[in-house]
Chain A
Amino acid sequence: MSGTFGSLNTALTALQYNRVAMDVASGNVANSTTEGYVRRRVLAETIGAPAVPAMWSRYDGAGEGVRSVGLGRMADAFLDMRARREHASQSYLDTRRMSLERLEGGVGEPGDTGVAAAIANFRQSWHDLANNPGGAAMRGQVLARASALAEAVRIQAAGVEAEAGDQRNRLIATLAEVNTVASDLAATNESVAAAQLTGTDASALLDRRDALALRLSELTGATATARADGGFDVTVGGVALVTGNVAGSLDIASGVTPTGGADGSPVTFEVNPGGTAVPAVLRGEVGALTDLLNTTLPAYGAGLDAVAKSLADDVNALHQSGYDLTGTAGVALFTYDPADPAGSLAVAFTDANLVAASGVPGGNLDGSVAALLGGALDAEQAYQQLVNGLGTEVASSQRLAANQQALTAQVDGSREQLSGVNLDEEMTLLLAHQRAYEAAARVMSTVDTVLDTLINRTGLVR
């Protein structure tokens, strides 16, 4: 049987609980726009009869009020996992799309300034020379157009190389961020474990843990698994990066030098300490950068090299079959370094008299070779295919990124639906608890009046 003052105590627990509830609501309102904040709920429990049955001292009270047993964090581990996966895909596709768009912008097709236009101009200059093989102006024009063509090809090759250089530097910076985030996560794991042990509220730490794990997934496509102590273990490509309070570092094993240069081999990664090679393909930003550096950019560069080589070889073969103004057999018009045809394409000579327009030896004004050089080149077709391929790739990466955007938005929406703060809801809760608080206070004064009646008026007859 509860004591005389038990009712006061019941009202007191109500006052305490409702105050905490109002605090939590106000905390939710305060953090309604904080990134990564998950709304909290006070978990309440009725203080009732003891759970242990007893024969001789039975509890015969009517409940002892209420108590808060902790804060509930309105998060769903499965949704979070899904969000990490979708965000990893999103950042992979976005990074890839942006790099490809830059590359595409540098190509300058279709238009009057690209390589295709330069080839057309070059061929026209040969036709003009065929019409007037003796004209010094026409010969000079052939050389000028050839230089312009070589330069257009070189500029594009340099653009591809510059893009690869940017991506290598970005990879280094991204890995630095990965390692910072990983060590932050390890530190957070430790704090979470400590908080769990001491029983303090770890919600803020868990928010931080989730945000860091999400960022790691965006950066590397890492997967996180929950630990018994509340922390996250993180693996990248199947290799453990963060285990409890220990963080490894994700480093470049090959492909990029510390200063951002290329070392000739494909980009691979290892996790230190231990130097464990990362076998699987990474996702996220790092994965996109790796793909760009290992596959996409080299493929476009090789395509451009093939175009430059075919162009130079075809033109040279025809040019060498001709004879220049003095009747000497023609020399190669274009030179290039076989290791890097597109980046080193150049015109071999500057003397306009060496341009071989004639198909007949002996110094005459035949223009048959010039007319042949004005004809269609295989390189043109190959270049169109190359540009077409790039355009298709860019368009597909844009489409994929847009589709993924819808998916990511949907998952984010689901998370927000569960974890987001609704101001109206918080206001309503605040009001409800305010009323409950007022009622509890009224209970207290009622009990007080009752006790006053009992203590001060008992036996008094007036």
Chain B
Amino acid sequence: MAITRVTQKMMLQTSMESLQGQLARLARTQEQISTGRQLNRPSDSPTGVSVAMRLRASLADQDQYSRNAEDGLGWLGQIDTVLSTVTDQVRRSRDLALQGASTGANSVAARDALATELEQIREGLIASANANYLGRPVFGGITSGSLAFDSNGVYVGTPGAVNRTIGEGVTIRVDVDGAAVFGAAGSTLFQQLDDLVTALRTTDQAGIQTGLTALNQALSRVTAVMADVGTRFGRVESANQLAKDATLGLTTSLADVEATDLPRATVDLHMQEMAYQAALSATARVTQPTLLEFLR
């Protein structure tokens, strides 16, 4: 546009508009620096805000997966400890049964002593079977009670899986079914120990042999469960690590999208400040002179 005629008001208005524009830009940069965020409202960048919201949701999810996994590790760790105690106890019972089975070497009194020790081991095993994590029996399934087995060794838990979500659509079982470790109802380890004690007391060789076989089976059962628990522990641990890594990556991405690029913003601020000052001084110069100053 060829300007053919310029008035004082035009210059003032143009100056005011450009000063306002400069100030608005300055205020925007100042906001970005003082809030530390370049996305302060959806209109700053609608797509950026969508991405930021998705990232925040994913971040919360991953954080939660990591917490779930840590809880699961607590369960599985507790079960692992209990199972190694159980293995020791079953192994000791098998030793005792073997001693009882060797005929002739043992008197009645000695067998009685073996039986008494086996009874104590049985008590200890029931206590192990009722091991709990944060108040919940780890072999009791989804029971709301505090026991998996009562004092007679009868299962009182509620069968059901205790699962933890450790990733998007990934759940893992963090408990162990009581029956899988201690045998199904009717042929529980406790029942078999009871029978063995009776067989020892009555010198029933066939009964002792049956008990010995049962104990061997129990030992391999517990070992298999331990291996399974160990595998699951590893899976949960790696899922936890994955979730933690993802959290780190997502936090970085969120900062990329949302946070102010400070060096750039600071440079911008300086440049805008200089431009503003230049505009101010130009306005001051332009608005001063009129013909009046030269007319005498």
Contact = CB atoms under 8 A, between A and B. Distances in A.
Interface in B44-72: 44-47, 49-50, 52-54, 56-57, 60-61, 63-64, 67-68, 71
B43 A391 contact: yes
A118 B39 CA distance: 19
B10 interface: yes
A134 interface: yes
Given A107-B42, A365-B142, A422-B8, A391 B162 contact: no
Nearest to B290: A423
Contact of B42 (A368, A387, A420, A427): A387
Interface in A401-430: 409-410, 412-414, 416-418, 420-424, 427-428
B188 to A, nearest CB: 21
B42 A390 contact: yes
A366 B50 contact: no
Contacts of B68: 127, 130-131
A32 B67 CA distance: 73
Contacts of A134: 135-136, 144
B152 interface: no
A371 B3 CA distance: 71
Contacts, number: 166
A380 B57 contact: yes
B10 A427 contact: no
Given A366-B160, A367-B163, A394-B43, A424 B142 contact: no
B7 A364 contact: no
A417 B3 contact: yes
A427 B158 contact: no
Given A105-B41, A388-B46, A391-B49, A124 B60 contact: yes
B295 interface: yes
- Do most interface residues of chain A lie in helix, strand or loop, or is the interface mixed? helix
A416 B13 contact: yes
Given A358-B142, A365-B143, A116 B53 contact: yes
A116 B57 contact: yes
Interface string B231-257: 000000000000000000000000000
Contacts of B290: 423-424, 427
B85 to A, nearest CB: 24
A107 B44 CA distance: 13
Contact of B160 (A124, A364, A374, A395): A364
Given A120-B56, A388-B50, A431-B295, A422 B6 contact: yes
- Chain B interface residue number, banded: 35 or more
Nearest to A420: B7
A368 B56 contact: no
A33 B8 CA distance: 9
Contacts of A428: 291
A391 B134 CA distance: 47
A364 B50 contact: no
B72 to A, nearest CB: 8
Given A110-B39, A110-B258, A120 B60 contact: yes
Nearest to A109: B42
B292 interface: yes
A267 interface: no
A131 B8 contact: no
B228 to A, nearest CB: 21
A121 B56 CA distance: 11
B165 interface: yes
Interface in B3-43: 3-10, 13-14, 17, 39, 41-43
A409 B43 contact: no
Given A116-B53, A395-B46, A427-B290, A127 B142 contact: no
A421 B63 CA distance: 68
A116 B165 contact: no
B5 A131 contact: no
A362 interface: yes
Q: 4 closest pairs, A vs B, by CB? A: A391-B42, A420-B7, A391-B46, A394-B43
Given A388-B42, A420-B9, 8 more contacts: A120-B60, A130-B164, A360-B142, A371-B165, A391-B46, A420-B10, A423-B290, A427-B295
27 contacts: A33-B9, A107-B41, A109-B42, A110-B42, A110-B56, A120-B57, A134-B144, A363-B144, A365-B143, A365-B144, A367-B163, A374-B64, A375-B165, A376-B57, A384-B53, A387-B42, A388-B47, A388-B49, A390-B42, A391-B42, A391-B49, A395-B46, A409-B13, A414-B1, A422-B8, A423-B292, A427-B292
